[in-house]
Amino acid sequence: QQFEPETNGKNPNSGTIDILQQMLDYYTRNADQWRVMAYRRAIAALKKQKTKITTKAQARAIPGVGERLADKIEEIVLTNRLRRLENANNSPEDLIIQKFLGVYGAGLSQASKWVAQGYRSLEDLLEKAPLSKQQRIGVERYNDFAQRIPRKEVESHGAIVRKAVQSVDKDMQVIVGGSYRRGALSCGDVDCLITKRGATLEQIRNVVLAMIVPKLVNNGFLKASLSISSHQDGSKWHGASALPGSDLWRRIDLLFVPDAEIGAALLYFTGNDIFNRSMRLLARKKGMCLNQRGLYTNVLRDGQVKLNEGRLVESRDERRIFAVLGVPWRPPEHRIC
Ligand code: DCP
Ligand code: MG
Ligand code: MN
């Protein structure tokens, strides 16, 4: 989740960030969600500092840096290394699991299972492992999907989807969300929100799945379908696309958004995920509930368990969701935690 403009040029804390990033990579491969979040938050906060942070007290004063991370930052600056990182388990198995986690759709349990079954490389998987159709694509196109997509190319994919959508229904709209909407110079995938004034989820889903996806498969733009939520309120199609004349496959998500929920969906699909998490947490603290469909009040909880749905207060207007939560408006470019 990098926001390149901020990492351009020399950052006074780049040495520290480098080591913290390695720690983050380690926790990511071990699926340690809490530490992953803490490290991402701390790295993002450090990237914003204009001066070099050298002491624990300075580190602790930065919002987003907790006690233990402040200790580690001081250790890194003083010793140019981090003992915890050197003790980290970088066994060969670990590195293979990390590699396998890059296969589209494979989570920690699948990746560990492959290692336990004796597979050691992508070639092993291709030749010996029983793979689903989607997993096979994930392995075959591993290197394609691992590459960042330049902003300009994301725009081209969005334009092709938009053209197909509007040739079917000129009133339908395509908005590219995700890291693209946050202004990133390169993206991990293409997130297309598809919506239409007055339309319901069912209407949009039907048009996209029955007309638009087949059209884009036929003209060669969509290369593969990786996951479709086909159940009652399914709202997405995940797959791969490539620009005409290119054999480089990109990950693309088509997200079906009913008009009434466009504000909440824009908020959710703009992210980033950590920003979303903090907005949801804030809503929860105020007795509300925020999800990709709307902001609800009067939600009763018993601990973590929601006792009722609450009352919908806003879903159409992204700005009003901020206002109701009492959060000053943040443009997408600033929603990076
Ligand atoms: N999202 C979320 N929590 C998740 C996954 C996604 O809140 N666990 C939301 C925030 C993301 C958006 O969905 O910004 C799109 O998800 P992506 O995985 O496509 O992430 P980004 O577009 O932010 O980054 P990338 O450039 O890696 O695609
Ligand atoms: Mg994305
Ligand atoms: Mn996506």
DSSP letter string, 254-270? EEE--GGGHHHHHHHHH
The pTM of this model reads 0.82
Percent of the chain with pLDDT over 90: 79
**215 annotated active-site:** no
Calculate the CA dihedral of residues 83, 85, 88, 91 and round it to 10 degrees.
-120
Ligand nearest 179 Cα, by number?
Answer: 1
Nearest atom within ligand 1 for CA of residue 186: 26
Of the residues 47, 48, 50, 72, only one is catalytic, namely 72
Starting from the edge strand earliest in sequence, which strands make up the sheet with 311-314, in order? 289-291, 294-297, 311-314
Q: List C-alpha distances in Å: 200 to 105, 131, 161, 197, 313.
A: 29, 36, 20, 9, 18
Say which amino acid occupies 32: D
How far, in Å, are 54, 147, 254 from residue 144 at the CA level? Answer: 40, 6, 19
User: Six-digit token pair at 283?
Assistant: 């809503």
What pLDDT does residue 3 have? 42
Q: How far is residue 310 from each of residues 235, 284, 300, 321, 324, measured CA to CA in Å?
A: 22, 12, 7, 15, 15
Do residues 243 and 161 touch, judged by C-beta distance below 8 A? no
- How confident is the model over 179-185, as a mean pLDDT? 98
Measured from CB, residues less than 6 Å from any atom of ligand 1 are: 1, 178-179, 187-189, 191, 268-273, 276
87 pLDDT exceeds 80? no
For residue 91, what are the contacts with CB-CB under 8 A and spacing of at least 6?
A: none
**Which ipTM did the prediction report?**
0.99
More confident residue, 209 or 86: 209
Question: Taking 60 as the threshold, does the pLDDT of residue 293 lie above it?
Answer: yes
- The model's confidence at residue 93, banded by pLDDT at 50, 70 and 90, is confident
Tokens of 36: 């992953």
φ/ψ (deg, to 5) at 154: -55, -45
Q: How far is the CA of 188 from the centre of ligand 2 (A)?
A: 5
94-to-28, 102, 113, 331 alpha-carbon distances in Å = 11, 13, 12, 39
pLDDT category of residue 8 using cuts at 50, 70 and 90: very low
Mean pLDDT of 209-234: 91
**Confidence at residue 265, expressed as pLDDT on a 0 to 100 scale:** 98
